[in-house]
Chain A
Amino acid sequence: MSDPRVTGAVRYAQDVELPDMLEARIVRSPYPHAGIARVDASALPDGVVVLLPDDVRGLGVYGPQIQDATVLALDVARYAGDPVAAVAARTAREAEQAASLIEIDYEELPAVFDPVEAAGDDAPRVHEIAEVSENEAAYFDLRPQPGTNVCHRFRVRQGDPEAAFEECDVVVEETYRTAGAQHVHMEPHASAARWDGDRLEVWTGTQTPYNLRSDLARIFLMDPERIRIVCPPMGGAFGAKTFVRLEGIAAALARKAGRPVKCVLERAEEWQTLNRHPSVIRVRLGAKADGTLVAARFRCWADTGAYADCGPGVAQKMGFAAAGPYRIPHVWVDADCVYTNLPPNGAFRGYGQMQSTWARELALDLLADRLGIDPVELRLKNVLHDGDRYCTGEEMHDCHYEACLRAAARAVDWDDARRGKGVALLLKGMQTPSRAEIAVEAEDDGTYTVRCATAEMGQGAWRTISLLAAEELGVDVGQIRYAVPDTDIGPYDTRTTSSRSTYVMARALREAVRDLRANGRRGHGMIEIPGGLDPDTGQGVASHHWHQGAAAAEVRVDEETGKVEVVRLHAAIYAGRVVNRPGAELQNEGSMIMGLGTALYEEIDVADGQVTNANLSDYEIPAFADMPERLTHDLIEREGADIHGLGETALPPVPAAIGNALASLRLHVTELPLAPEAVLCAVDVREGVRA
């Protein structure tokens, strides 16, 4: 029985045990916005270690893109759940009991929970200043708007849509909303920290070891080379295990305690740690009578919660991908990343592109309906081909959007009947710019050790990279050993996000093997992916290569209850070249199922700034019995093509395909999730019994 996943032998970050280790629990603000007047731990018993604001006041401010975070909230708590203190003890239970003895005085402040409202001039300010970070995760020019809660504003300015709308035969306008969502990775966040003199070692479930190291160095005012990050495999992540999460608290406690400290979150805390950006997106689309798209205007508000995290990047991607894989000569986008007094939002599979795909693809079907043109035909008429320019000004190449769309439509027998069916087409960017490095070492016994910082979270990257190495070296994959990522030993990589890892590592591997062949024992390869956008105009190179896919859905609606049943769901994803076929299939299937959850069940319910459904009974993710009758997918390959990452691609188009399937029944719902109650409202509207 070789696979540790079926024998239970996998050791995740939560399983790390270090000699003399203490376990930590975090004390969190119960208020969404409050001054912290007094934190008193005098009642705590001896033998527990407590971390108070004054213990971390002198530490550095951090944040991947905006420097707005401190290890503990200092003087102001900005969301219900903001860490205010922490306790380490022999067991988590003891730490919990000690933590309950900490007395904290709060003074409630006005709070804001909606991004459109928060972007306004009169909204309560979440942060007084938004200072741009100086680390490599701030890979684009940030545009915080002083005096407001807008911590980044991204714009696309291509042509003149306002004038062009005048020339259009049909213009549609609609506002779309998507709810917040939780990643619900099965393994909770877990980090362990240990000091060895002035060196810090951290074992943590993270997708971003080097970004994490960089911010920890900033926090502890250290040289990053004196910080070691080790990355055990994760029990799922989907974007949640990125940048600094628990590591700052664990490390600060470990330093104070003089002993290693591990912190593992309780499930309810996950909704207070990192979620997906809720969005409000206003779309205006204009076309000629023959279906030629002429102009598009997008206004996006991404609710980033109380700390920016990588929200600016999410808003930027939401914005630059909003126009979709279509030729539209006039495109303006305004995408604001806005602070609110809610838990922070950050990377979530799809990275802003689920939200803009939802809005755009539904608006396209509205347009198709108004034009009297079939939605597939409308898309085919405008879809990007090689040589076309995107709204960022970049020339598109390697375009397979048409193939994806045709495959998806065919999978649901689009030509036979249209009722109850919907399609959606996706254009998604890959982290640009970035840098990836990999080392390959020849061992004495004929095996090879591969070292890179790509983290394993179930996406099969370790296996795929091993297969690629075996291919390059011309050996059996059994000769390859993938070393657990360790920043002390392995080389740099930007991070394991954005479905980039197999693509960049494949290219870096070619260099590394060439280098190994030249010098015998150790080869090193690096690839730098150039590009980037001007944030004020959106012009430049948004993505080195694009992730492409389409989804089609067939639904049945119980029009007396509004319950939607997805009968058939298909995703056609451009893969280029598939290296790890079972892994690629699993990623497609998993993305589609997660998309189903986004479409039908998942929303973070908030009342007065409190998450009210922070458990897996009140927050529902798809289960076995929720599966569509038929769930299928294509991995589209082309001879001689490059690997295309597909860890996320099949997620964003799924909700939009389902929304468009409802639209084909004249049921117009503009918000995600598609709760039966909202669908029933749409039935009423269609039947004329409700406005």
Chain B
Amino acid sequence: MSPEPEWLQPRSLAEALDLKAERGEEATVVAGGTFVGILMNQGLLAPTALLSLARVPRLDGIEANGDLRLGALVTHRAVELSLVVRERWPALARSFSVVASPRVRNQATVGGVLADADYASDPPAMLTALGAVAVVRSSRGERSIPIDELIVGHYETTLAFDELIVEVRVPGGGHRAAYRKFRSRSHEDRPCVAVAVCRRGDDLRVVVGAVADRPQLFPELCDPHATPGEIGLAYADAIEPLSDIRGSAEYRRRVIAVEVRRALEEIAG
């Protein structure tokens, strides 16, 4: 019988960072634990050590003075139900609210969904469109990484082996944003195409999720004076979508054009 993993439960961020630096990839970080749980149940992951962040204090706060600051251990459910997020960043609250089921949202965290970098997850695309950054710490110091620079590939981030996400910051200020999730099958399905848009004055960001290895953002195509339809077609042309049981690449392109247009129409009104 294989030996059980070592259970590490640091009681402070400093201790957690030290452990992370010491063990690196050998320690599997457990925040909410949903993604890790799925991988372990499927036999895809057999950790030698589990690094639980459950006892690390002060990572589960939501603050909104100007910018929005979400602690890495804030659950999806907390974001979904937060009055201040719903009032001032409604599309963000929505993007968290459509993830999976209430059970998953009760467990999964803001930091976890970014660190997992699952290409079909909803929050990363919306956070990218909102211009959010991940605040990342190691025992060497702290840095901020824009979300579109954090997630760089299929379940792949630019986090160093000794780094942990501690917070996500979303710019405040006036903006119009929308999140659309298109499922080609059951309401419970992973999305076939997802679109997050945000306009701040003349700055427009359009992000398409669930169609490629990472959220798709093409700043050069986000012309605030182009029509929604034009941007939709441009995105459909620029993206090389994946093909799977939810839709072929060709079909995804068609839906990208439609859903981008619809998202932009939502915020135009």
Contacts and interface: CB of A to CB of B under 8 A. Distances in A.
B249 to A, nearest CB: 11
Given A97-B1, A561-B255, A680-B254, A621 B184 contact: no
A344 B166 CA distance: 50
B190 interface: yes
A563 interface: yes
B186 A622 contact: yes
A676 B184 contact: yes
Contacts of A621: 186
Interface string A592-608: 00000000110101000
A97 B258 CA distance: 49
Nearest to B255: A561
B248 A623 contact: no
Interface string A606-628: 00000011010110111101100
Contacts of B1: 93-94, 97
Contacts of B186: 601, 620-623, 625-626
Contact of A677 (B2, B189, B248, B259): B248
A561 B248 contact: no
Interface SS of A by simple majority: loop
Contacts of A601: 185-186, 189
A560 B257 CA distance: 10
Given A94-B1, A97-B2, A675 B187 contact: no
A617 B244 CA distance: 12
Interface string B163-194: 00000000000000000001011111110000
B250 to A, nearest CB: 8
A563 B184 CA distance: 7
Interface string A89-108: 00001100100000000000
A600 B185 contact: yes
Contacts of A675: 184-185, 247
Contact of A626 (B182, B184, B187, B251): B187
Nearest to A675: B184
Nearest to B101: A623
* Contact-size category for B: 10 to 19
B245 interface: yes
A625 B251 contact: no
B247 A620 contact: no
B184 A677 contact: yes
B216 to A, nearest CB: 18
A48 B151 CA distance: 45
Interface in A650-691: 675-677, 680
Nearest to B252: A677
A667 B124 CA distance: 37
Contacts of B187: 623, 625-626
B251 A613 contact: no
Contacts of B42: 615
B188 A625 contact: yes
A396 to B, nearest CB: 39
Interface string B236-247: 000000000101
Nearest to A602: B185
Nearest to B258: A560
Contacts of A600: 185
A615 to B, nearest CB: 8
Contacts of A94: 1
A328 to B, nearest CB: 36
Nearest to A98: B1
B251 A620 contact: no
Interface in A305-359: none
Contacts of B247: 675-677
B130 to A, nearest CB: 25
A373 to B, nearest CB: 35
Contacts of A680: 251, 254
A613 B245 contact: yes
Contacts of A613: 245
B251 A617 contact: no
Interface in B36-79: 42
Contacts of A97: 1-2
Interface in B100-130: none
A325 B187 CA distance: 35
A561 B2 contact: no
Nearest to A90: B1
Contacts of B184: 561, 563, 675-677
Contacts of A560: 254, 258
A680 B252 CA distance: 12
B103 to A, nearest CB: 13
A94 B2 CA distance: 9
Interface in B186-218: 186-190
Contacts of A615: 42
Interface in A617-654: 617-618, 620-623, 625-626
Nearest to B184: A676
A611 B26 CA distance: 32
Contacts of A563: 182, 184
Contact of B188 (A561, A603, A620, A677): A620
Contact of B251 (A605, A618, A677): A677
A620 B185 CA distance: 7
Nearest to B1: A94
A438 to B, nearest CB: 41
A612 B243 CA distance: 13
A620 B254 CA distance: 22
Contacts of A625: 186-188
Interface in A76-118: 93-94, 97
B37 to A, nearest CB: 14
Contacts of A618: 245
A97 B2 CA distance: 8
A605 B245 contact: yes
A613 B185 CA distance: 14
A628 B189 CA distance: 17
Task: Give the most central of A563, A615, A676: most B CB within 10 Å.
Answer: A676
Given A560-B254, A675-B247, 18 more contacts: A97-B2, A561-B255, A561-B258, A563-B184, A601-B185, A605-B245, A617-B189, A617-B190, A622-B186, A623-B186, A625-B186, A625-B188, A626-B186, A626-B187, A675-B184, A676-B184, A677-B248, A677-B251
10 contacts: A563-B184, A600-B185, A601-B186, A603-B245, A613-B245, A620-B185, A625-B186, A675-B185, A676-B251, A677-B247
- Nearest 5 CB-CB pairings of A with B: A625-B187, A620-B186, A677-B251, A601-B185, A620-B185
